[in-house]
Amino acid sequence: MRRALLVLLALAGTARADTITLGMFAPSAPFPSTAARVELATRLGEHVGKAVGGTGSGRVYARAGDFAGAVKKGEVAVALVDAAFLAGTGGYTVIAASPSQTWQLVVRGAQKIGDLRGRRVLVPANGGHETDFVLNVLLGGEVPRDFFAKIEAAPDTAAAVAALNLGKADAAVVPVGTDLPAGVTTLFSLPAVAGPALVTYGSLTATQRAQVVAALASWKGDATIASLAPSSGDPVRAITRRFSIAPKRGPFAVPGARLVVGELVEGRTLAIERTPPTAFVVTPSK
């Protein structure tokens, strides 16, 4: 009886181990709808589960805190996560990445960057690094930190554009490819950075990670995230380095001085005054 119970417990443990939950926290990905976001997460979760010989499911997280909590509890083994969020966290292994994203500054009515001084800007949430992401990663530190009145997090790219369209913000920083409503235009393009990356957490073995990577070759995404290719963590680390910008200093001018000894002594009479020897003699006291 006891042996049968142990066998049942072992089988149950194996079943749990082969059931993979794929989490998605990628607010920047410009999905046309929440349904499209959920559909991609579900298909990718099922594909990953099959790759390790089990079953899989997908779960979309709308808030950074909820996603971080699920990871801490061990509820998520694999996740598709915005690179900007990963750049400010740790405890994961990057195994694949989507194509890099080119960003843009979109506005409603503004004609130049100067028109946005003292204005409110929205950007998809990335876990608290929104200001550094906009000013340092995308704008390269060229805009002072007090230029905008506020840089605030929006739940996702679609929400940022919708708020801008309703007049609740003056500009938004979103990836190229986002559907823009009438009246919202691109002021200028911004640099490309790493797109959402596929990462694993501690519960997956090295063998399982290799199985997932191999299976990605046959996975087909959608118009927003078309594919995932094997990758290291270098693109994410590049964002981490750009979160901080070294202070800029003005040029240091060094005069081109050329000194010649002959010019220093020309027209001068040099002589060493002789000191009488008696100056070095002390008269003995009587």
Q: What CATH code would you report for 102-193? A: 3.40.190.10
User: Given this model, what pLDDT does residue 255 score?
Assistant: 54
Angstrom distance (rounded) from CA 215 to CA 222: 17
pLDDT tier at 188 (50, 70, 90 boundaries)? Answer: very high
Please tell me the least confidently modeled range out of 77-91, 129-143, 236-250.
236-250
pLDDT tier at 132 (50, 70, 90 boundaries)? Answer: very high
Indicate if the pLDDT at residue 269 is higher than 80: no
Contact in structure between 199 and 81 (CB atoms under 8 Å): yes
Indicate if the pLDDT at residue 42 is higher than 50: yes
CATH topology for 7-100+195-242 is: D-Maltodextrin-Binding Protein; domain 2 (3.40.190)
What is the average pLDDT across 234-262? 70
Indicate if the pLDDT at residue 95 is higher than 50: yes
pLDDT tier at 279 (50, 70, 90 boundaries)? Answer: low
What is the average pLDDT across 133-150? 96
User: Given this model, what pLDDT does residue 264 score?
Assistant: 53
Domain boundaries defined on the chain: 7-100+195-242, 102-193
- Of 19 and 148, the structure prediction assigns the larger pLDDT to 148
Model confidence pLDDT, tens digit, residues 206-247? 999 999 999 999 999 999 999 999 998 999 999 999 998 765
Angstrom distance (rounded) from CA 106 to CA 126: 19
User: Given this model, what pLDDT does residue 204 score?
Assistant: 87
User: Given this model, what pLDDT does residue 101 score?
Assistant: 95
Q: For a pLDDT cut of 90, what percent of the chain falls above it?
A: 75
Indicate if the pLDDT at residue 9 is higher than 60: no
- Of 279 and 1, the structure prediction assigns the larger pLDDT to 279
User: Given this model, what pLDDT does residue 244 score?
Assistant: 83
pLDDT tier at 14 (50, 70, 90 boundaries)? Answer: very low
Contact in structure between 104 and 173 (CB atoms under 8 Å): yes
